[in-house]
Structure 1
Amino acid sequence: MKKKIAKKNKNWFVLVLKLIGFGLLLLLLFIGSIYIGLWGKIPSKTDLADLKQAEASLILDKNEELLGKYFVFDRSIVSFEDLPKYLVDGLVATEDARFYEHGGIDYPSFFRVFFKSVLLQDNSAGGGSTITQQLAKNLFGRKDYWMLSMPINKIKEMIVATRIEDVYDKNDIIALYLNTVPFSENTFGIESASYRFFNTSTKNLTLSEASTLVGTLKANHSYNPRLFPERSQLRRDVVLQQMVKYGYIDEDARLNVSNHPVEIDYHKFTYNEGLAPYFRENVRKQASQILDSINNSGDTEYDLYKDGLKITTTLDNTMQEYAEKGMTKHMERLQSQFEKAYGSNAPWLKDEVMITELIKKTPKYELLKKENLSEAEIMVALNKKSKKPIFSYEGDTIVSISTIDSLKHYLKFLNTGFVALEPNTGAIRAYVGGINFEHFKYDHVSMGKRQVGSTFKPFVYTTALESGMDPCTYISVKEVTYTNEEDWTPSNGSKDETDPHMNFSLEKALSQSINTIAVKLLDKVGIPAVINQARKMGVTSELPDVPSLALGTAELSLLELTASYTSYVNKSVPSKPYFVEKIEDKNGKILYEYKPSKPMDPAFSEKTRQTMIEFMKATINEGTAKRMRSTYGLSNDMAGKTGTTQDNRDGWFMAITPNLVMGSWVGNDDHRIGFSNTSIGQGANSALPIVANFVSQLNKNNDFNSITKAKFETPSAEVLEAIDCNPDKRDGFFKRLFGKKEKEKAFGE
């Protein structure tokens, strides 16, 4: 009986051994099938030795500070030498304590996880993957194999991990891992994460910052330091405890960090957000054209979004921050003034003809029209409310709003443009294309063209001086009716400007922006001469051959106008604005470098240049732009010109300093909507404060002393003598009594 039982047990034992052997055979066959590629090709050592990962191209300012990125995946590569020691130590202590001991697979950890997680269903066992296995997953991802997904992907990663360990040393593996691992908010790589959450490069991370980022790797969303600061801090402290446990830091170092909260300096580099979005869009267009030219002329192929290029631009990040802050501060206040001045009679509320016309241009209206809906049905649909984000200066808010109400909401907003140019090079140092790029994509610096108003007058005065006119020529402010121009009678505003017996010198006439005198000067020198002078100063837009040209009926872009003004401080030569200094590949090879084109010939004489600077200095000191001194208290050496167009539709201000030329424009995108009154809409009130706010901030930063403390050169003795006269004179008694009555004439006689 005992023999039978023993035999039976032996048979069972043999059967179990056979089953185990068969199972092991199946497992080996299964692993072998994965190894030979039946479940998808596994990268070879040769493949791994030539890893190419898509890298974000970096947009840098003139000082090589990060401005933005172009990317498919937000990833920027850094070398191991740029990784702080405590970042590496924190990663190893938290993610793979035996990293330096294994060859890609930590077998004790693997079997612990296998038995506890798979056999005992204990979820507290942890992940079990080494840093090298995680790297394999980051590099090649995981595929869906239905019920076998987990074992197939895990085995693949183990195979790839051992090959990675054969190809790379431990330092290279750490660098590869940190360059490819996803952090919070779909940010790939430690460099991108460092800039996003702490606005610094990886090499400058503190122990607290490094530990915070390592802590997010356990659960990217749950430990996001922006969304969940307290939870992120607790996870950071766990990382620090692990570093103490494995001897990387001491307890004092841990306490020194743990006793302080996580402090982030969040910067999101997206298309719509971040610093200088309008400028970055111009850089994107220009860089794409440059790369297309390079790709078409050689065997190389460069991709702006994948190849980790470095694009160094002309912008100065600090100046740009000042420009954007100055713009927002002023425009929020001006918008409130603008709306209050109109009250309940605002055209975006009352002008049914204009509103109906705009409604019919909306994509939703056109779509409903194609569906053959009646006008009444379309209006019902367009008045239906839905929740959507809308722009406000306090921040975007989600509101329930109809398509028509949304149109009216955006129609009321004033918009703006601001640009600052280095006059001797044309380098763009600051660039604000509008009040908000996400909601107002139209670029009001380089795309928009509007009537320039009185900012065109310096072209007329420059022409007059070039024709030989004495700066102390006195011209009557009296109105003249031009009979051959449909009895057109340009007029002025203030009492002095309407006194028919008052005569102004050219300096006062320009500084006070006297319309009647500007037209009379144009009449004297001729429209063709003024147009020719503007062309010499870099203006390429069409200029109307009409007397009202003197008052700024020409439509120019802000960038074009500002560039023409650079001639007044660039030896009479207009500079050509540019965005990109150079483009390098990820290895530092220069692919493109800006080379200035041959400069244009001087647009006018040195005598005229110095005289015009003196004229426009008077505009700032006692003329239409005196708010720069009286309201804003700016003592900088500065010249300039204000501009306001008909019906207060556009406000302009041009400012010239020896080393920086600035221009600003303000208006509504719909030409039919102007300011309700001149006191609000004039350039001195609508556009000048943007420049004033910008210069005020520059003045507080000693880094910009070369701009803010720069002085205009002393005019020559000849110029000083030529402009040494009283600013105005009134006709004497007999001239008032018997003088020629200049009331009507033909323009161009």
Structure 2
Amino acid sequence: MNKSLSKEDIKRYSLRIWKIVIGGIALFAIFISLIGVGVFGELPSFRDIEHPKSNQASEIIADDGRTLGTYFVQNRSNVAYKDISKNVINGLIATEDTRFKEHSGIDFKRTFSIILYNLVGKKQGASTITQQLAKNLFPRENNLNFFTLVLTKFKEWIVAVKLERNYTKEEIITMYLNTVDFGNQAYGIKSAARVYFNTSPDKLNLTEAATLVGMQKGITMYSPTRHPERSKARRNTVLSMMVKSDFITQQEFEKQKEKPLDLHFNAATVNDGIAPYFRSVLKNDIKTIFQEQSITKPDGTPYDLDRDGLKIYTTINYEMQVYAEEAQKEYMKILQQQFINSWKGRNPFKDKTLQIEQGIKRSDRYKSLKLEGKSEEDIRKDFNTPTELTIFTWKGNIDTTMKPIDSVRYYKMLLRNAMMTMDPTNGHVKAWVGGINYEHFKYDQVKMGTRQVGSTAKPFTYAVAIENGYSPCFTVPNVPVTIDGYGTPWTPKSSGTLQGTLTLQKALAYSQNYITAYVMKQVGPVAVSALATKMGIPNVPAYPSIALGSFDASVYNMVGAYGAFANKGYYTQPIYLLRIEDKNGVVLYSKKAIPKPVMSEEVAYVMTRMLKGVITNGTGSRLNYKYKINAPIGGKTGTTQNNSDGWFMAITPQLVTGIWTGCEDRAFHFISTREGEGANTALPIFAGFIKRVYANPALKISHADFEAPKTPKTITFDCNEYQQQEDGTKTELDEKLGF
């Protein structure tokens, strides 16, 4: 029989237990203190907590503040508390941390409750939102053993307490939502809202917010793109928890739970989204600017566009960019079919062995095989062996089995296209379409590529003539002209020649080569080359053939040049990058356009009238009769030798647009000029674009005409008036001579 414990024994045992408890608490406090001072590994400093290292995406921003795209390793963009929907905040608190506003970083009451749950086999997480933030800001290492895992957990506690002491609850929940991974390359609530619902975080409705919050239990398991039914069930769980926390009513829950997910998914990749060619060119430009101007971080290290969260403000108009891409896709499908049909019954690869060989050697496949050390014989065998390939078509990517050499031939016959639109009054680029598909064809054809410009160069020659006193009504016999003195005598060929004597106005409208050559003979190639250079087109040689566009130029430079006609004689180099800010809003770089006079306002105005004549009664007239666009638009079509390049340049008082179409290799082209001319290959894309622009009143692109100069007129452009003047001059002369 056990002897009863005396009061002294009870007192002694109690004292011993208290010593153990107090000693344990003291040891735990010492242990925590040692962790706090870094004995078991360095803890983040307050500076680290204030400025955590994270891979924050840099944003490319359109002229209305909307995001065009991002440069990223992790597609993360930060947002302020005021710009986050209350639905997200409430859903997160109800689901992850109901006592968030009451605890000080560690919810001990919840922690001990969850320990008991785990002991009986009901696994639950005990981390508060603040602890999860600490974990997100300073991620754990992989493959931790039990001791280091416990140690790391205590470190997170300390960081959580530091966060609570130094930040408000609003700041903490904002930081948390900015650091969360939502899958599909969406990091942070701002990216998630854009990727999954194509909206901003402040506009997330109840079901959208609940869907995103629900993903935090498992971004793969509850992914709305991979497991929509599971995601919807989890969303409804979040909504039910919001009922328990009195954030929404039961009636509201019943109403919302049956709604579909209603995703508007936009994958976050550098290839997808609008303006991919523009974003690629812009990225290279920014790297060059930073390097040339020695723009670095305060610590002297270079900026990383993929990680440093820069804000890049551009001139691109979001709607116009969308319209330009839509117009291209809409018409290029039709034109490509025309092109294929035009070669039916013929072999487009006849006598093109050299071009196919060049295509093989320029391909990524060839370069990859070369790096692997393959011989030319092995490479030849590879290109003639059927394999699985993904090829681009206007109906979408197609997975197929074909010989790689056949894919080279296929792409040689694929038409390419590029387009740029600019506001001539300030040089701001509004839309940029550098190619037909960035995923497959990375080369930008707006600025990086140059092609022969054909008849779109003719206005430069006519502008010099107008500057030298010629009237658009001056008449010239439309007969062959030879120009000597510049090496081999030059006599241009001409097709579609109008018989008789024509005014300069009509000669430009119908793109007559003989009369253009006549004008060049009068003004000389040096003057024309000088004007083209002043208008932003480099490397224009002073030879007579430049009158017909024998030189190469980019869409970018041609649009800039035509801008001078629309902007009263002032050339402004096209700009698309306005400023760059760091993630704290400090301006790192800014740029403003600098207009330069290149011709008188009167000459520019006369040229706009002549270019309008091309549209009202000339090679660009299908803009009126076929596409029913009757606004005051000037333009010029261009078609190069063998129909290798088709161009269309268009001007209005508010927009200047340039469009080029052709194959990658000039050896591949339309057979007939009727199908291969710029009026058929480029003009229709402009028609599709400008129709959309005019239909959107929010863009404020008016149908107003070009403004006439207020200075006294010195050039007669009314041909009836001009004829009267000519007749009058002849009469006076006759009188003087006594006739």
Tell me the TM-score normalized by structure 1. 0.87
- Identify unmatched segments of 5+ residues in structure 1: 4-9, 729-749
- For the pair 1:678 / 2:673, whether they are aligned, the reply is yes
| Distance across 1 between alignment mates of 2:308 and 2:371 | 43
Summarize the alignment of residues 67-78 of structure 1 with structure 2, pairs less than 5 Å apart: 67-78=68-79
Question: Are residues 412 and 30 of structure 1, via their aligned partners in 2, closer, same or farther at CA, if it must alter by over 3 Å?
Answer: farther
**Root-mean-square deviation (Å):** 3.3
Residue deviations 1:214-273, cap 9 Å, x none? Answer: 111111123223343333222221111110111111122223322322223333443222
Aligned mate of 1:600, from 596, 614, 630: 596
CA contact (8 A) 1:135 1:176 kept: yes
Percent identity over paired residues = 39
Determine if contact 1:477/1:504 at 8 Å carries over to the other structure.
yes
**Which residue number corresponds to residue 557 of structure 1?**
554
Residue in structure 1 matching 2:582, options 581, 585, 606 = 585
State how far apart, in whole Å, the 2-side matches of 1:94 and 1:213 are.
12
Alignment partners' CA distance in 1, 2:709 and 2:44: 73
SS at 2:68 equivalent: strand
Counterpart-to-counterpart distance in 2, 1:349 and 1:232: 57
- What residue in structure 2 maps to residue 709 of structure 1? 703
Looking at structure 2, the residues matched to 633 and 21 of structure 1 have their Cα atoms a distance apart, in angstroms, of 90
Q: Which residue of 2 aligns with 1:740?
A: none
Q: Which piece of structure 1 moves more, 174-183 or 279-288?
A: 279-288
Distance 1:41 1:372, change over 3 A: closer
Most deviating of 308-317 and 603-612: 603-612
Instruction: Give yes or no for the alignment of 1:392 onto 2:388.
Output: no
Equivalent residue runs for 1:508-523 within 5 Å: 508-523=506-521
Query: 1:33–1:186: structure 2 CA closer, same or farther, 3 Å change rule?
Result: farther
Amino acid at match of 2:393: S
In 2, Cα distance between equivalents of 1:668 and 1:154: 61
Distance 2:587 2:378 in 1: 60
1:743 is matched with which residue? none
Change (3 A) 1:311 1:46: closer
Q: Deviations over 1:254-305 (max 9, x none)?
A: 2332232222333344322211112222322333344442536977665433
Question: Does the 8 Å contact 2:434/2:445 carry over to 1?
Answer: yes
What's 1:286 paired with?
285
Q: Which amino acid aligns with 1:630?
A: Y
Q: Identify the residue that residue 195 of structure 2 maps to in structure 1.
A: 196
Matched with 2:645 is: 650
1:136-285 equivalence runs, <5 A: 136-148=134-146, 150-285=149-284
Q: 1:617 to 1:49 in 2, by over 3 A?
A: closer
> What SS is found at the alignment partner of 2:473?
coil
Q: In the alignment, is residue 566 of structure 1 matched against residue 567 of structure 2?
A: no
Query: Is the CA contact (8 Å cut-off) linking 1:90 and 1:211 kept in structure 2?
Result: yes
2:380 is aligned to 379
1:167 maps to amino acid: N
Q: Given the superposition, is the C-alpha separation of residues 250 and 518 from structure 1 closer, same or farther in structure 2, using an over 3 Å criterion? A: same
Name the amino acid aligned to 1:186.
Q
How many angstroms apart in 2 are the aligned matches of 1:348 and 1:607?
A: 50
Deviations 1:625-648 (A, max 9, x none): 011101110011101100000000
Deviation, structure 1 residue 452 = 0.4
Question: In 1, distance between residues paired with 2:721 and 2:573?
Answer: 37
Q: Does 1:334 align with 2:328?
A: no
| SS, match of residue 185 in structure 1 | coil
Bigger drift between 160-169 and 319-328 goes to 160-169
Deviation at residue 108 of structure 1 after TM alignment: 4.2
Secondary structure of residue in 2 paired with 1:576: coil
Using the TM superposition, name which of 72-81 and 643-652 deviates more.
72-81
Question: Is 1:641 the equivalent of 2:636?
Answer: yes
Residue 392 (structure 1) shift: 1.9
TM-superposed deviation, 1:402: 3.9
On the 8 A contact 2:243/2:250 being kept in 1, the answer is yes
Kept in 2, the 8 Å contact 1:216–1:232? The answer is: yes
2:503 to 502, 505, 508: 505
Residue 312 of structure 1 aligns with which residue?
313
CA contact (8 A) 1:348 1:412 kept: no
Question: 1:155/1:387 Cα in 2 relative to 1: closer, same or farther (>3 Å)?
Answer: farther
Q: Distance in 2 between matches of 1:82 and 1:514?
A: 60
- The CA distance in 2 between the partners of 1:266 and 1:372, in whole Å, is 42
Structure 1 residue 448 displacement after superposition: 0.9
Give the residue type in structure 2 aligned to 1:65: R
Tell me what 1:746 maps to. none
2:86 maps to a residue whose letter is K
**Structure 1 CA distance for aligned equivalents of residues 498 and 82 of structure 2:** 74
CA separation in 2, counterparts of 1:698 and 1:371? Answer: 50
Whole-Å separation in 2 of the counterparts to 1:215 and 1:372: 50
CA contact (8 A) 1:478 1:498 kept: no
Structure 2: 5+ residue runs without aligned partners? 4-9, 724-739
Stretch moving more, 125-134 or 34-43: 34-43
Q: 1:272 to 1:102 in 2, by over 3 A?
A: same
Aligned residue among 661, 684, 687 for 2:682: 687
CA contact (8 A) 2:533 2:540 kept: no
Residues 306-344 of structure 1 show CA distances to partners (whole Å, capped at 9, x for unaligned) of: 333222111100110001101111111111111221136
Q: Any conservation in 2 of the 1:527–1:546 contact (CA below 8 Å)?
A: yes
Q: Deviations over 1:349-383 (max 9, x none)?
A: 87333213332444544565677766443322223
> Residue 49 of structure 1 contacts residue 167 of structure 1 at CA under 8 Å; is this kept in 2?
no
Aligned to 1:72, the other structure's residue is in SS state coil
Instruction: Report deviation, 1:30.
Output: 7.8
Distance in 1, matches of 2:233 and 2:579, equals 44
CA contact (8 A) 1:644 1:650 kept: yes
Does residue 547 of structure 1 match 2:544? yes
Instruction: Tell me the alpha carbon deviations over residues 507-539 of structure 1, each in whole angstroms, 9 at most, x when there is no partner.
Output: 110000011111122122222222122223332
Matching residue of 2:730: none
Say yes or no: does 1:618 pair with 2:618: no
Alpha-carbon spacing, 1:360–1:447, altered in 2? closer, same or farther (3 Å): closer
1:295 corresponds to:
295
Matched residue SS, 2:263: coil
User: Measured at CA, do residues 723 and 379 of structure 1 come closer, stay the same or move farther in structure 2, by a change above 3 Å?
Assistant: same
**Equivalences for 1:392-471 in 2 at 5 Å?**
392-471=393-472
> Within 2, Cα distance between the matches of 1:420 and 1:173?
44
Query: How many angstroms does 1:136 deviate by?
Result: 1.5
Question: Are the equivalent residues in 2 in contact too, given 1:183–1:216 (CA < 8 A)?
Answer: yes
SS of 1:332's equivalent in the other structure is helix
Query: Structure 2-normalised TM-score?
Result: 0.88
Equivalent residue letter for 1:590: V
**1:575 and 2:572 are equivalent in the alignment:** yes
CA 211–348 in structure 1, closer or farther in 2 if over 3 Å, else same: farther
SS of match in other structure, 1:343: coil
Q: Choose from 494, 499, 503 the match for 1:492.
A: 494
Query: 2 CA distance for matches of 1:178 and 1:370?
Result: 44
Amino acid at match of 1:224: S
Give the direction of change, closer, same or farther, for the CA distance of 1:225–1:460 in structure 2 (3 Å limit): same
Q: CA deviation at 1:196?
A: 1.8
How far residue 725 of structure 1 moved from its aligned partner, in angstroms, is 4.4
What is aligned with 2:133?
135
Rounded Cα–Cα distance in structure 2 between residues aligned with 1:100 and 1:163: 16
* 3-state secondary structure, aligned to 2:401: strand
TM-superposed deviation, 1:213: 1.1
Structure 1 residue 674, shift from structure 2 partner: 1.6
* Alpha-carbon distance in structure 2 between the residues aligned to 1:642 and 1:401: 38
Q: Partner amino acid for 1:380?
A: K
Q: Secondary structure at the match of 1:74?
A: coil
Aligned to 2:358: 357
1:187 aligns to what SS in structure 2? coil
**Which of 605, 624, 631 is 2:626 aligned to?**
631
Q: Please give the alpha-carbon distance, in whole angstroms, between the structure 1 residues aligned to 2:368 and 2:31.
A: 56
- Once the two structures are superposed, the pairs formed by residues 40-189 of structure 1 within 5 Å of their partners are 40-44=41-45, 47-51=48-52, 53-117=54-118, 119-120=119-120, 122=121, 124-148=122-146, 150-189=149-188
C-alpha distance in structure 2 between counterparts of 1:296 and 1:91, whole Å:
38
